[in-house]
């Protein structure tokens, strides 16, 4: 569908979510550059259309499983960005009181079963959520986000196989950004499209332009409908690119092997700025309206940055809570 076929509200929602993710990650990068953040973070810049399009097709009580590159998924599911930023800075007010950090943000009240530090680690977990849905007989769905490289983990194949065999309401979303750290997926995998693996499990597998939010949304809507109707899982592969390296400290010089301008070519397809231009040009929204929206988001981002920066670190004794119900054993 072209943007003219969507409501103004839907289009501005898409844009607001993508813009918020972009600004969220830019500020996360700033935390790192200013030395405010311990450890590392894996930025979602460039991939905004994927989480936005997929999560727009979900209902409030659906579940998602996320990855090490998870900030975008969480923003799209409506996690509180101030508590996310506080967690990234290791503060007491963060989602996990500073115990998890960027790679382990979880928001159970939003159906977010957690970002995950192990590539492919979350795939069976989201599949298990789909099993719960099937067992309870509700019309919820579970989405398992993963990178391209997770499709070479055993958990991917084991999970997709079981979901297919038992018609579980799970949608496997592959964010194919072409690289697993420095390794080009095309050098270690025999098929240029990863969604073709769906054939091996006799389920639908679709490839979509991951830089186009409406394309992702349409594919997700179809997969979600199929899952809600009890017809089983779908694999959606979104072709996308990460602006930054694997994490904030990775200059990603390895990406010039195939083409000197690979990064620039992808950045020309920016899902955020191109979409902004497109919806204004289509007359769906005015420049002024977009600016107002951006100001609103910016105020939210700045408030979150301040909240995170001003929040205290947890007391050292916090390390000894939450291992078990009883604390430590």
Partner 1 sequence: MKEITYAQAICEALDEEMERDDNIVMLGEDIGFIGGNFKCTVGLLEKYGDLRVKDTPISEQGFVGMGVGMALTGLRPVIELMFSDFLLVAADQVINQMAKIRYMSGGQANVPMTIRCPIGAGRSSAAQHSQSMQAMVAQFPGTKIVVPSTAREAKGLLKTAIRDDDPVLFLEHKMEYNKKYQIDDDVEPIPFGKARIAREGKDITIAATSSMVMKSEEAAEKLAKEGIECEIIDLRTIVPLDTETIIESVKKTGKLIVADEAHERCGIGAEIAAAVADDIFYYLDAPCGRVANPNVPLPFSPALEFPLIPSADKVYDKVKTYFK
* Contacts to partner 1 by CB under 8 A: 63, 65, 94-100, 104, 106-108, 113-114, 116-118, 121, 123-136, 142, 154-155, 158-159, 161-162, 165, 321-326, 328-329
Select 158 or 289, whichever has its Cβ closest to partner 1.
158
Instruction: Identify the H or E element spanning 146.
Output: strand 142-147
> What φ, ψ does residue 174 adopt, rounded to 5°?
-95, 120
State the nearest-atom distance from the C-beta of 99 to partner 1, in Å: 5
State the nearest-atom distance from the C-beta of 79 to partner 1, in Å: 12
Select 260 or 322, whichever has its Cβ closest to partner 1.
322
State the nearest-atom distance from the C-beta of 135 to partner 1, in Å: 6
Rounded Cα gap, residues 170 and 130, in angstroms: 6
Closest CA to 274 of 51, 14, 9, 1: 14
Select 115 or 206, whichever has its Cβ closest to partner 1.
115
Rounded Cα gap, residues 90 and 1, in angstroms: 42
* Helix 213-228 × helix 48-56 angle, to 10°: 40
107 close to 74: Cβ distance less than 8 angstroms: yes
Q: How many CB atoms lie within 10 A of CB 302?
A: 12
Select 39 or 283, whichever has its Cβ closest to partner 1.
39
119 close to 149: Cβ distance less than 8 angstroms: yes
Binning the chain into helix, strand and coil, the percentages to the nearest 5 are 50, 10, 40
State the nearest-atom distance from the C-beta of 46 to partner 1, in Å: 27
State the nearest-atom distance from the C-beta of 314 to partner 1, in Å: 9
Select 299 or 319, whichever has its Cβ closest to partner 1.
319
Select 124 or 205, whichever has its Cβ closest to partner 1.
124
State the nearest-atom distance from the C-beta of 14 to partner 1, in Å: 28
């Amino acid at each position: 569908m072209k943007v003219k076929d969507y409501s103004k509200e839907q289009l501005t929602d898409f844009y607001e979510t993508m813009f918020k993710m972009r600004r969220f990650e830019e500020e996360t990068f700033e935390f790192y550059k200013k030395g405010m953040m311990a450890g590392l973070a894996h930025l979602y810049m460039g991939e905004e259309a994927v989480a936005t399009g997929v999560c727009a097709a979900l209902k409030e009580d659906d579940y998602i499983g996320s990855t090490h590159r998870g900030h975008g998924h969480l923003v799209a599911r409506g996690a509180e960005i101030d508590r996310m930023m506080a967690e990234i800075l290791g503060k007491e007010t963060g989602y996990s009181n500073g115990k998890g950090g960027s790679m382990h943000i979880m928001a159970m009240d939003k159906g977010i079963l957690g970002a995950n530090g192990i590539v492919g680690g979350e795939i069976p977990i989201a599949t298990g959520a789909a099993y719960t849905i099937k067992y309870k007989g509700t019309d919820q769905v579970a989405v398992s986000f993963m990178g391209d490289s997770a499709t070479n983990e055993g958990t991917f194949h084991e999970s997709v196989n079981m979901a297919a065999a038992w018609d579980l309401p799970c949608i496997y979303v592959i964010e194919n950004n072409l690289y697993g750290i420095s390794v080009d997926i095309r050098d270690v995998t025999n098929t240029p499209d990863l969604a073709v693996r769906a054939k091996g499990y006799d389920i639908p597998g679709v490839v979509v332009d991951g830089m186009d939010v409406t394309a992702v949304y349409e594919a997700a809507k179809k997969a979600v409908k199929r899952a809600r109707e009890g017809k089983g899982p779908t694999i959606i592969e979104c072709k996308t690119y990460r602006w930054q390296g694997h994490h904030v400290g990775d200059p990603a010089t390895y990406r010039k092997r195939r083409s000197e301008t690979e990064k620039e070519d992808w950045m020309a397809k920016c899902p955020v700025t191109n979409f902004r231009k497109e919806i204004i040009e289509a007359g769906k929204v005015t420049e002024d309206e977009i600016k107002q929206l951006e100001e609103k988001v910016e105020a939210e981002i700045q408030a979150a940055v301040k909240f995170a920066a001003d929040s205290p670190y947890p007391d050292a004794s916090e390390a000894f809570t939450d291992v078990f119900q009883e604390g430590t054993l």
